[in-house]
Structure 1
Amino acid sequence: MKEFERKQLLERVNREGATVGVQIPETIEIQGEMIDLREFVFEIKRRDTIPAGERERVDQAKRNLRRERLERLQPIEDNEVSYEEGRQLANDIVGIDRALNALEQLRPVDLTQEEKLQNAADQKRWMNFLKKALGRGGGASKRGGR
């Protein structure tokens, strides 16, 4: 591949906004294993947040995708592939970046719904306690002042 072609491919994969309009690949081979990447991302993304039980699975997927991105980028950087092979690798990289962006946008769920309800109930009890304590304190001083 010619130097300007290599630079062009590298610029494409490193460009801000390179993933705009790009679809997540249906499947991808990572470390010799075929992964239904689009299905996985959509399954996780449907939830809008990462459930506590899924956090490790999502984190592992992101690590694997980042590693695979680097492995596909290296032959382009080292000029070890033809321009056609480089174009295919660049397409793969942009697709991987699209999947990574989708997974990065998810918010982790730090508290389960039950924990949120428990915290709200604890706050309510604390506020009631403070109101009573302050009310008794005020009532006692009024009685003491008569």
Structure 2
Amino acid sequence: MYKRILIPSDGSETSQRAILAGVEFAREVGAEVVGLTVTPEFHVLSTNSDMIEDTPEQFAAAGEGRARSILAAIDGAAREAGLPCRLEHAVDDDPYAAIVAAAERLGCDLIVMASHGRRGLKGLLLGSETQKVLVHSRVPVLVHR
């Protein structure tokens, strides 16, 4: 049924749990795993202190290092389960858009991702990348909490 499962991660604890659940599900159905992480673009004017203090090159290098670390967790879980795994790093200010685009571009037939469970005003103000993926994706999404 599912042949290629996209598992995006931001490196958070809830994402780590979703990685394990997604890899286990992929193992059960015999699917390939595609790991994805998204880092923001560099902006000269920003409220992000890393962007203010770094040059574009330093910011990009730090983003690459963080992405490698996040993707290593997905790769390690997939290897442990004996599954093929492809790793992707996208640079985009809208993680949900990068997730949806990667799922379509790579021919994924399921996205497994975490929900941070923000509710009320905090959820409204911060938004939810998971919610945005659910709204914009044509690929089915399995949300892990």
Q: TM-score, normalised by structure 2?
A: 0.29
More strand per residue: 1 or 2?
2
Q: TM-score, normalised by structure 1?
A: 0.28
More helix per residue: 1 or 2?
1
